[in-house]
Chains A and B, each alone.
Chain A
Amino acid sequence: MENRPLEYDYTVAKMFMLTTIVLGIVGMSIGVFIAFELAFPGLNTIFGAGLAEYTNFSRLRPLHTDAVAFGFTLSGIFATWYYVGQRVLKVSMAESKFLMFIGKLQFWLYVIGVAAVVVSLFMGITTSKEYAEFEWPIDIAIVVVWVLWGVSIFGLIGIRREKSLYISIWYYIATFLGVAMLYLFNNMEIPTMLATSAAGETGIGAWYHSISMYAGTNDALVQWWYGHNAVAFVFTVPIIAMIYYFLPKESGQAIYSYKLSLLAFWGLMFVYLWAGGHHLLYSTVPDWMQTMGSVFSVILILPSWGSAINMLLTMKGEWQQVAASPLIKFMVLASTFYMFSTLEGPIQAIKSVNAIAHFTDWIVGHVHDGTLGWVGFMIIAALYHMAPRVFKRELYSKSLMAAQFWIQTLGIVLYFTSMWIAGITQGMMWRAHDEFGNLAYSFMDTVDVLHPYYALRGTGGLLYLIGFFMFAYNIYKTMSSRPVEESELQNASPMGA
């Protein structure tokens, strides 16, 4: 037993790979659709006046954000965990019937949760809190899924053969703890049926309805502490976990610096949560909190760039791989977009810049160069690396992968450039006064001027979506039509022409 190489069991990883792709297509398609709705409002009723209630921008927007954040991204995180976890801890899921059961249970509950979210958002059942729109029954389901994932993480760690925890595991643990803390506190709510039954009347109103525990400014404070750090613990920390595993594996290069990893990890953990206040600059939150949010956002550049530089320098002396392999290209550009996005964010958190940027499309642009460039590219790269090993088949097409890379990169560039121009134009027009001290523009003037940028943004999103379909096709063909690989290569993924 001890002398045989480990056979890892990828059953659960495969299941989550599937949801990553399916929910990616769903979330991104809705995103492209609503982007074009803003440019061409006629699209709101394209499916008929009867369905307009469900196809209006306002109803679909939360569906888009939740589908990509908690559908696509979270599936990607789970898929990579069930792959990476076994490998760096040197233990197979097949060794524990219990952990295998937990993994499958987590998957199926997750799928049920996703279905409940989709239905409830279409129905307009929402608590209105961004990225936490779900009512309490779904919140409870989400907590159960999360606890199951925690059992899986710590269970696998408990039976590990590798004594020391690899960097990726640090980040997965942090993701688990961070999201658990944020989600629980932000979703504290009282179901209205508790109050009505206490008043002696049962069954008044919707049974799933609830009211936030926090009011007004406090509610905003908790919400943006959550909202900002959902970015930290869903869009940053677990994606770093991925790149710390997949980039060295794919390139055959060791991580550039262990010390830098340490500094970046603990720095990120400590600094990130302070920065949430930057969503509330010039609001009714106390001034000292706004200043803290602003200052810590700028400090946040250090640990963020620490990770990003560590990733890029991992390729030191091996840059020819970037030219040769589209898979490496995805990861290197992901790191670059991470640097870009974590510089842009702090700039927007500076008070004077925020006065122009807040409430505008520049923020939307910032979110998307992070999510499309960093999160999207890294998850795509991770699945490309996993596919030949999980399915024991050569990747279907290298040239399709390269074409996808360039189409999607062009899409991201169109997206963020158009949103930069749109956002800054909007912000400048809102504040402009004429020589008599009157407002120079009406609100409608600013809406009119944005039309071309909205059209361009939709086009950028569409290119990214087309690339994602190419990705889905490439993975599908890999699963179904390539010859079986006899042995697994140490680093670079085997690819077809």
Chain B
Amino acid sequence: MPSAWGLSAGLFAATLLGWAVWRVFGGFPHAKRPGLVLAARELAFLAAAADATYPEGGSDLPSGTQAGIPAYADRYVAAVPRSVGILMRLLFFLVEHATLVFSAPGRGGRRRFSSLSPEQQGAVLEGWRTSSLFPRRLVFSSLRAILTMGFFSDPVVLRALHLGAKQIDSPIVEADLLYPAIGAHPRTIAYEREDLVARSGVPLAADAPLHPDHAEQMQ
């Protein structure tokens, strides 16, 4: 029979463990749409990091979540090899939970990143960015790159900055008589030798420079 002291200690330890597990894994908002690979808690972290970096208002640009950064990151993680995806998810986990150990500045700083105030989130990210420790800066650079690529994947952002992709017609070249689209069979190649110039309407020697103000192609 366990002693009363042992029972109390066991109950205390179990309570502590439960509290710690809840602090790490519990209380995240449900994702509006399930991710391809990321869990709701990871999407919640990405949404917080996205809006801390690109908040709503202040310019014509959308916020990080309006620009679809969490969904972009989800697609990106789904596209990379599994081993790389695991590392990226560990990165999200690390930044989200580091403030449970290393408190963010200000009142209530020992909370998950996504639960901090926008000012605290900015201060935490700045701490990662300017750290004297190279691995911390590397973590920040990786996160920042994912957030920024996601932000600039939004046509609204590109249009606002006049940086959208140009509309370019691909001329037909000899290689188009040889290669089908990836995954397709060569019998799907639609081009014949007489198409080398005609079909696209773009001459083979399309040597006229593309003007910067060429009509932008938006999704």
B and A form one assembly: no
